[in-house]
Every structure is written in C-alpha cells, then in structure tokens.
Amino acid sequence: MSLVVVGSVAYDGVETPHGKVDRMLGGAATYIGLAASFFAPVKIVAVVGDDFAPEDSDLLAAHGIDLEGLEHVPGKTFFWEGKYSPDMNDRVTLRTDLNVFAGFNPKLPESYRAAPYLLLGNIQPALQQSVRAQMPSLRLAGGDTMNYWIRDYREELLETLRDWDFLLINDSEARMLSGEHNLRRAAAKVMEMGPRTLVVKRGEYGAILFADGCHFIAPGYLLEDVFDPTGAGDCFAGGFIGYLAARGVNPATGPVELQDLRRAVIYGSVMGSFCCENFGVDRFRTLTREEVEERYREFKACTDF
C-alpha cells in the first residue's frame, strides 16, 4: 500500500568524531522515504534546486521511490551544516540555507492523491495541513514536528494535529508541547490534541508508544559504532509508517492492532540504527531487506525475558 512522504530533500554538511563530510544527500523526506521504501512503495513530495545531482535522484529511484512530486526549481537546494558533540548526543547547527525550500508549497501530483498512507515530515504546520487536505482517501496520516513550531506556531500546530492519527516526536518536544515533565502525563495531554497514537522518540534509549490506553517501551538497539546520527529519527519514522503501510492497517475498518503498532516501533528502531552506521544515507546504498529482518530478530533476542 503506497505511502506519501512530505518534507525536505537537502544537502548536509556533517562533522562527527568519526569524520567530516562537506556535502551529502540529506533531508527528512530523503531519510523517511529511504527507510520506508524497504517496506512499502513511497511517493515523495519535496523541492530541490537546479544543483540537485542526478546520482541523488538515481539513488531514490533505485529504491523504487516515486519522484513525480519532487519539484525542481531554479536556485539552490536546502543546505544544512552541523557538528556533533564528542558523545554525539548533542549537535550545533553551523549553517542553514533554506534556498529553494523557503518557497516550498507542496503540490501533490494527481497520481499521489489516492494513496492511503501519509507521513508529514517536519515542516511548517500549515503546509502539513494543506497536504493532508489534498488526500481524501487516507487511511492513516501523521508526522513529526519540532520545538520551533511548538513554540512559535502553537495554534497552527494544534489545528494541524487535530486531524492526525499519529504523532512522532522526541521526549523534549513532548514535554514542551504538553507542558508536563512526566512522560506518561505528557503523552495523555498530547493525545487529547488529536493523535490517537503517540510515539515518543528517545534517541539511543529507544522509544515509547502510547495507544489505546496502553504504552509500549522499546529500548534502543545497542550499536557497536555510531558514525553519524543524522537522520536517525526520520528513519525511525520511515520504518514505523512503512511497516504499517505494508500491513495495510486501516483504522476505518477496526482498531489498529497494538501488536502491529509495537512491531512498527521496533522496525522504526531497526531503521534508525542502520542509519547511524554510516555517514548520511550511505548505509541504505547496500542495506537489504534480509538484513532488516535479521536485526529485527536480534532485537527480539536482546530484549526477551
């Protein structure tokens, strides 16, 4: 079942304790799309400039990603540069050039509108809303947001969230959005805003799923080496929605099975963990579906008691 992914396609400059890359393919929609493509057919909506390299389009296309909604406009592609702390739990942004992304106004190709699944990457809430409104036959819609929208676009964000089935945010964002420090209470408040499913991402510590009055706590996969955490949260989102799309879940015909949501969280963690194993999207150049399944089984083996 196909999945529409909206967000940034960008170039990133990244420095971690393992090295420095001046310019490489990045952006939320890129990471979400690549991760989700291991589970379901993906259609991307994003904008790039005339500097966007054919080999980067080719990589996305090689993963079966539909690029009809990838708008090419005159100007430069969104560029972000950041540097990670020695333990890679923090990073500073050194440069953000929105470039063509500043005028991003997502328009869905006709062939995208009937897709049943939608993942809205972290962009301005009003744009997320406009995409949601262009898709009349959605089964499941949700996405991500960030501190900037929570703080400065609160009303717009709250209006947007009202129509989402799920929200994926990190723990500090959940606290900021709800005004509650305790995650159980924070989750209860956030779910009153609309989404019936909330996934709180906790970086290397995993994630917590809240749904249907229950919660599910998933620890993070313990990596031998973290080369570059850029995009890991987006890959989590891609694995999560990709698995649900593959399962064909449909809240309109009955409640989504908790077991499906739990497994979606684990697949999210699996995809996030692969993302960290190399710089940028490099791990996805060689990753196979069999490796994904193997890591899922390893996750099970490492957490069972």
Which of 158, 217 has the CB closer to a second copy? 217
Q: Please, what is the minimum distance in Å from the beta carbon of residue 233 to a second copy?
A: 17
**Other CB atoms within 10 Å distance of the CB of residue 266:** 23
Helices (H), 147-288: 147-152, 154-161, 171-178, 183-192, 232-247, 258-275, 283-286
Q: Which two tokens stand for residue 226?
A: 């973290």
Q: Please, what is the minimum distance in Å from the beta carbon of residue 41 to a second copy?
A: 25
Q: Please, what is the minimum distance in Å from the beta carbon of residue 61 to a second copy?
A: 33
Q: Please, what is the minimum distance in Å from the beta carbon of residue 84 to a second copy?
A: 12
Q: Please, what is the minimum distance in Å from the beta carbon of residue 35 to a second copy?
A: 19
CB 122 within 8 A of CB 28: yes
Q: Which helix (H) or strand (E) holds 198?
A: strand 197-201
Q: Which two tokens stand for residue 49?
A: 């400039």
Which of 138, 187 has the CB closer to a second copy? 187
Which of 82, 219 has the CB closer to a second copy? 219
- Interacting residues with a second copy (CB under 8 A): 86-87, 181-185, 202, 205-206, 208, 214-226, 259, 262-263, 265-266, 300-305
* Coil, strand or helix at 76: coil
- Cα gap 178→171, rounded to integer Å: 11
Which of 104, 296 has the CB closer to a second copy? 296
Which of 192, 224 has the CB closer to a second copy? 224
